[in-house]
Amino acid sequence: MALTTIALDDLQVWGQGLHRPEDVAVAKDGRVYASNADAAISEILADGSLRNIGHAGGEPNGINLTPDGTTMLIANYDGHVVQACDVANGTVTTICGSCD
C-alpha cells in the first residue's frame, strides 16, 4: 500500500479542549469518547464540542466501553486504580483499588 500525503489544510480540529487525552473509544452507535483529566471521559460531539462526563480525579488513561455501552472502564494512572463511569449519569466508582 502506497502512503499518501495529507495536506494540513485538509485536517479539521476536532475535540479541542481535552486535557491529557490518552485513549479513544468508539461505541457501537458511533459515539466517540476520549479520556480527559478534566472529567473522567468526554464524548466528542459531531460539531467537535465536548460533553464532559463524570469526575475521575487523577489522570484517566486507557478507556474501554462495556459490551452494552453503558459503562466506560478507566485505567487511572495517577491513582493506579481501575474505575467504572456510568456514561449516562457520570457516576464514577473504583472497581479495583490495588492488585499484587
- pLDDT string in tens for the chain (100-residue length): 899 999 999 988 888 999 999 999 999 999 999 999 999 999 999 999 999 999 999 999 999 999 999 999 999 998 899 999 999 999 999 999 987 6
Residue 8 lies in a domain: no
Residue 56 lies in a domain: yes
Nearest CA to 40 out of 82, 17, 74, 6 is that of: 74
**8 by DSSP, 3-state: which?**
helix
Residue 65 lies in a domain: yes
Say which CATH number the domain at 74 has.
2.40.10.500
- Total domains in the chain come to 1
Residue 62 lies in a domain: yes
Other CB atoms closer than 10 Å to residue 42's CB: what's the count? Answer: 24
Amino acid 100: pLDDT: 66
Amino acid 99: pLDDT: 72
Residue 3 lies in a domain: no
Domain that holds residue 43: 13-96
Amino acid 12: pLDDT: 84
DSSP calls for 22-82: --EEE-TTS-EEEE-TTSSEEEE-TTS-EEEE----S-EEEEEE-TTSSEEEEEETTTTEE
Amino acid 19: pLDDT: 94
Given a contact cutoff of 8 angstroms between Cβ atoms, the answer to whether 21 and 14 are in contact is no
